[in-house]
C-alpha cells in the first residue's frame, strides 16, 4: 500500500473518531465527562492537522521522471 493511501485511510479514521467524540460529548450531562471527550476530540483534530500537512507535502512533491533515449547522453 502506498504512503498516500495509508495517510488517506488514517485521515478518514481521525475524522470518524472526531465525529464519535463529538456525538458523545453533546449528550453528556456531567461537565467533567464532557470536557474529557472534548479533549479527546481536540487531540484528534491536532493529529488530523498533522496528517493533512503530511498528505499535502506528499502530493506537492515533484515526481522525478527519467527519460532514457538511446544515443542521447545526459
Chain segment 32-61, per-residue pLDDT in tens: 999 999 999 999 999 999 998 988 888 787
What pTM was computed for the model? 0.71
Q: Is residue 73 part of a domain?
A: no
* CB-based contact 10:44 (threshold 8 Å): no
Q: Is residue 23 part of a domain?
A: yes
Q: Is residue 62 part of a domain?
A: no
Q: Is residue 7 part of a domain?
A: yes
Write out the residue range of the structural domain in which residue 22 sits.
3-55
Please give the mean pLDDT across all residues of the chain. Answer: 85
pLDDT attached to residue 7? 87
* Residue of 64 and 39 predicted with greater confidence: 39
Q: Is residue 61 part of a domain?
A: no
Q: Is residue 16 part of a domain?
A: yes
How many other C-beta atoms can be found within 10 angstroms of the C-beta atom of residue 6? 11
Using CA atoms, how far apart are residues 25 and 19, in angstroms rounded to an integer? 10
The total domain count for the chain is 1
18, HSE (Cβ side, Cα atoms, 13 Å): 14
Q: Is residue 70 part of a domain?
A: no
Can you tell me the mean pLDDT for 1-29? Answer: 90
Amino acid at each position: 500500500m502506498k504512503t498516500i493511501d495509508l495517510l488517506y485511510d488514517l485521515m478518514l479514521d481521525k475524522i470518524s473518531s472526531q465525529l464519535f467524540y463529538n456525538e458523545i460529548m453533546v449528550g453528556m450531562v456531567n461537565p467533567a465527562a464532557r470536557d474529557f471527550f472534548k479533549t479527546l476530540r481536540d487531540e484528534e483534530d491536532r493529529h488530523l492537522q498533522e496528517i493533512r500537512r503530511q498528505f499535502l507535502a506528499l502530493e506537492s512533491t515533484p515526481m522525478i521522471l527519467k527519460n532514457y533515449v538511446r544515443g542521447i547522453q545526459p
